[in-house]
């Protein structure tokens, strides 16, 4: 092996190990769904399940995890976080009032 190839080979090995360890699936587990009941982005309104290749961007704001459909929604959220948090709270309360199957 040529000396210049060693860093590249190590990099590929590390990335492969990370993918194998953490996976690449965009699907939410039942635990994730239970801890974050909304199935849409509170900024754009896009459904998380609409595009199977979409992996929601998760941001923790003052200890509260918030899922966005994409990272560009974060700056919009940060301009008026209280507005979006109030909307999120209303949606979660509405979900809790729906009859469970």
Query: Which of 33, 40, 43, 36 is closest to 78 using CA atoms?
Result: 43
| Section 47-55 average pLDDT | 83
Per-residue pLDDT at 55: 85
DSSP E strands in the chain: the ranges are 57-61, 64-68
**Number of continuous H segments (helices) and E segments (strands) in the chain:** 4, 2
Torsion of CA 27, 29, 33, 34, to 10 degrees: 180
Of 62, 69, 7, 16, the C-alpha closest to 38 is 69
Record the pTM. Answer: 0.60
Going from the C-alpha of 14 to that of each of 3, 11, 19, 66, 97, the distances in angstroms are 18, 5, 9, 29, 47
Q: For a pLDDT cut of 90, what percent of the chain falls above it?
A: 47
Of 75 and 26, the one with more pLDDT: 75
């Amino acid at each position: 092996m040529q000396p210049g190839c060693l860093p590249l080979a190590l990099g590929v090995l590390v990335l492969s190990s990370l993918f194998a360890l953490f996976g690449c699936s965009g699907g939410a587990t039942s635990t994730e769904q239970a801890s974050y009941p909304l199935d849409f982005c509170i900024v754009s309104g896009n459904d998380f399940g609409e595009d199977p290749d979409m992996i929601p961007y998760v941001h923790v704001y003052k200890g509260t995890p918030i899922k966005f459909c994409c990272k560009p929604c974060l700056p919009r959220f940060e301009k008026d976080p209280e507005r979006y948090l109030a909307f999120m709270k209303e949606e979660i309360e509405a979900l809790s009032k729906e009859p469970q199957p």
